[in-house]
Structure 1
Amino acid sequence: MACKIPHERKAAITAALAGGWVADAASLGLHWLYNSERIAEVGGQTPEFLPPRADYYTKGFGYFAHEGKHVGDVSHYGAATGVLTDSLLANNAALDVRDYQRRFRAFFGPGGQWRGFIDNPTRITLENFNANEREAVKQAQDTMPAGLTEKQKRVLVQKVMPYTRRLSGDQLAQPVREAINLTYKEAKVQEAGVHLAETIDRYLVRESGADDMQLPAVSKLPPLVACFCGSSDLMEVTEAAVRVTNNNDDAVAWAKCAALLLDRLFQGEGLSGAMDAAITEAPDQESLNRARAGSELNGVGAGDTFGRTCYLHEAMPVIFHILNHAGSYTEAIRANIHCGGDSCGRAWIIGPAMAAIHGVGGETGIPLSWLAKVTNAASRYEDIESLLVS
């Protein structure tokens, strides 16, 4: 499998995707601490890769969300990016919305792998999955063949649901028949079950996300942009992926802005030109232009001016300010942490953008020691290499 990217850009895009994981992990220790003075007091000039500790939040306003996490772990943003990466890997670098939805629900839902904070769009998206599924079952039951008993109908729903949650289309018929055959040998009952499963499958909706315009809409974009780098389909697939978790027009618009920024940088365009292109998709172009003004990097000041919370209309100008004024990957990540608030969410655009520009190592790239600090670093980077193999 492979993302179709120019060979000469593969190293830069590999660095960019690694840069997202590093930036998120580096920011976790002080994530959602809003008081910049307290951040400076705790982290000094090197606030990256601190262990998440509740006592950091005893002064100044903040929310400690990462109990039980350790140095090198990533936030829920990284976890969601990993889910989309897994889906892209499983689908030959293409976006399969249903597969992405199933993986997202399985990972973050009951019995899933995730242990940690659940943000608002994730929580509502999980609720929407359940509501959409109930409505699809109702629609399917209304069209079931006549002659079935109420007991048979209930059993058929129980039989097919495990399969509609992980399979779709032509994949459904055989395993559904085999499952029903364990209880009902009659062909008509088995065919009714297949009809039920296929009807549920058709009624499940693609736009499952919350009406929410926060950073989860854009934080998962780097691997998707890598797979569609330079493609005319990028804006379409960006919207489709975003509406899985954030079914909101402003969120989609900000995501297209972020995706276009990364796409231009991944292709090797200069930062100024990439920003010019990206701004054309933004709901608030004026704020991004103001964020680019001046010549001095001031992450704290950007937070004071535009805001530090998870909302995209606050986060995107801060991201643009830091990118436009930071001279290195390290400087950008530290400025983002010092700004405070939702540093982990912003990290998923700042980290890949700066790594695409500056690469790995040297005076301006991702520090090699930082790469090694990410939890499960080898498997993270192996996934990146698998996604970008040509």
Structure 2
Amino acid sequence: MTDHLSDHRDPAMIAALAGGWVADAASLGLHWLYDSKRILEVGGQSPEFLVPKYDYFEGGFGYFAHDGKRAGDVSHYGAGTGVLTDSLLANKGTLSIRDYQRRFRAFFGPGGHWQGYIDNPTRVTLDNLNRIEQEAITQAQSTTTAELTDQHKRVLVQKVLPYTRRLSGDQLAEPVRRAISLTWQEPEIQEAGVHLAETIDHRLWPTSGADDMQLPAVSKLPPLVACYGGSDQLMAVTEAAVRVTNHNDEAVAWACCASRLLDNLYRGESLPSSMDSAAPEAPDPQSLARARAGSALAAVSAGDTFGRTCYLHEAMPVIFHILNHADSFTEAVRANIQCGGDSCGRAWIIGPAMAAVHGVGGERGIPLSWLARVSDAPALYRNIEILVNRTWETS
């Protein structure tokens, strides 16, 4: 999907996507510690890549959410971005809402890979997906033409769900029939199972998200913008992806602001002009203008003024303040951590934006040593290169 962008911008996009992972991992140790004085006591001038410890939160207000995580691990924001990245890779750079929903549910739901904090949008999205599925089951059972016993109904659900949670469309009928045939040979029962599977598949609504205006709405955007940047589809796919987890108009508007910002930066625009272009998409562009005022980086004061929590109307002005005043990737990431609060969520716009401008290495880019400190770095960076370079056959 990035054919419309000139190839010379690919290295900048690769650096930008890597910058999100680095900034998130760097922030994890002090994530959700709201006391800036305590952050300074614990982290000093280099608060990045600390092992998450409850001790840091004693004597300061905050919420310790990352017990058991190691230095270099990413937050639940990074995990969610990884799910969308995997979906984009599987669909050759195209957003498939159903594939994204299925992967999201499989990763964060029962039996999934994720071990860690579950935020409100994720929890409610999982509940909504379960509810949508159950409503489809009820509809299918009430509209089937087969005469089914209660046992038939129970067992068909058990046989069908493993397939509807990973397959769609024409992929469903054959494996569902085969699974049912292991127990029942009757064609009408098998067709009832196919009807059940297809009903569940058709009723997987794209707006499965929570009525929530927090940072998970925007943290997933860097890989999506890499696939659709410069396209007239960008705002539409941004909204579609956001409503999977955040079915809220204000969240969509802030996400469109973030997408516009990243899109301009990926295409080589300067930070000031990119922020100018992005601000009109925001629900409150005046707050972004106030955040950019002044001549000095003062992230702690920006947090005092606009707020440090996960809500986008607080986070986006802080992000714009840091981007407008920081001179390097390192300075921006450290300022974001020192501001306190939801530093990991903000990191997914700050990191990609600063890396798109300053690249990797040198005095202003992502430090090479920081790249190496991210958990599972080789696999993450390989996926970034595949996504940006569109080398799907190596995925």
TM bracket, shorter-chain basis: over 0.9
Q: Which residue of 2 aligns with 1:196?
A: 196
Q: Which residue of 2 aligns with 1:260?
A: 260
Calculate the TM-score normalised by the size of structure 2. Answer: 0.97
Q: Which residue of 2 aligns with 1:334?
A: 334
Distance in 2 (CA, whole Å) between partners of 1:152 and 1:110 is: 25
The alignment yields a C-alpha RMSD, in angstroms, of 1.0
Q: Which residue of 1 aligns with 2:302?
A: 302
Deviation at 1:3, TM superposition (A): 4.0
Q: Which residue of 1 aligns with 2:150?
A: 150
1:343-354 maps to which residues of 2 (within 5 A)?
343-354=343-354
Q: Contact 2:32–2:342 (CA<8 Å) still a contact in 1?
A: yes
Q: Which residue of 1 aligns with 2:42?
A: 42
In structure 2, what residue type is equivalent to 1:224? L
Q: Which residue of 1 aligns with 2:324?
A: 324
Tell me the alpha carbon deviations over residues 72-127 of structure 1, each in whole angstroms, 9 at most, x when there is no partner: 00000000000000000000110011111111111111111111111111111111
In structure 2, what residue type is equivalent to 1:389? N
- Paired positions, count: 389
Distance in 1 (CA, whole Å) between partners of 2:294 and 2:187 is: 74
In structure 2, what residue type is equivalent to 1:214? Q
In structure 2, what residue type is equivalent to 1:118? I
Distance in 1 (CA, whole Å) between partners of 2:58 and 2:329 is: 30
In structure 2, what residue type is equivalent to 1:116? G
Tell me the alpha carbon deviations over residues 261-287 of structure 1, each in whole angstroms, 9 at most, x when there is no partner: 000100111111111111111001110
Deviation at 1:51, TM superposition (A): 1.1
Tell me the alpha carbon deviations over residues 224-256 of structure 1, each in whole angstroms, 9 at most, x when there is no partner: 000001011011111111111111110011000
Deviation at 1:129, TM superposition (A): 1.1
In structure 2, what residue type is equivalent to 1:312? L
1:3-42 maps to which residues of 2 (within 5 A)?
3-4=2-3, 5-42=5-42
**Percentage of identical aligned residues:** 72
1:133-144 maps to which residues of 2 (within 5 A)?
133-144=133-144
Q: Which residue of 1 aligns with 2:393?
A: none
1:64-103 maps to which residues of 2 (within 5 A)?
64-103=64-103
Q: Which residue of 2 aligns with 1:379?
A: 379
Distance in 1 (CA, whole Å) between partners of 2:78 and 2:259 is: 17
Tell me the alpha carbon deviations over residues 297-338 of structure 1, each in whole angstroms, 9 at most, x when there is no partner: 011010011000000000000000000000111110011001
In structure 2, what residue type is equivalent to 1:119? D
Tell me the alpha carbon deviations over residues 329-356 of structure 1, each in whole angstroms, 9 at most, x when there is no partner: 1110011001000000000000000000
1:198-277 maps to which residues of 2 (within 5 A)?
198-277=198-277
Tell me the alpha carbon deviations over residues 203-223 of structure 1, each in whole angstroms, 9 at most, x when there is no partner: 121111111000000001000
Calculate the TM-score normalised by the size of structure 1. Answer: 0.98
**Matched residue SS, 2:157:** helix
Q: Which runs of 5+ in 2 are unaligned?
A: 391-395
Q: Which residue of 2 aligns with 1:114?
A: 114
Distance in 1 (CA, whole Å) between partners of 2:200 and 2:53 is: 45
In structure 2, what residue type is equivalent to 1:263? D
In structure 1, what residue type is equivalent to 2:231? S
In structure 1, what residue type is equivalent to 2:140? A
**Matched residue SS, 1:258:** helix
Distance in 2 (CA, whole Å) between partners of 1:66 and 1:151 is: 43
Q: Contact 1:3–1:387 (CA<8 Å) still a contact in 2?
A: no
In structure 1, what residue type is equivalent to 2:51? P
Distance in 2 (CA, whole Å) between partners of 1:193 and 1:329 is: 54
Deviation at 1:39, TM superposition (A): 0.6
Q: Does 1:184 align with 2:184?
A: yes
In structure 1, what residue type is equivalent to 2:120? N
In structure 2, what residue type is equivalent to 1:145? T
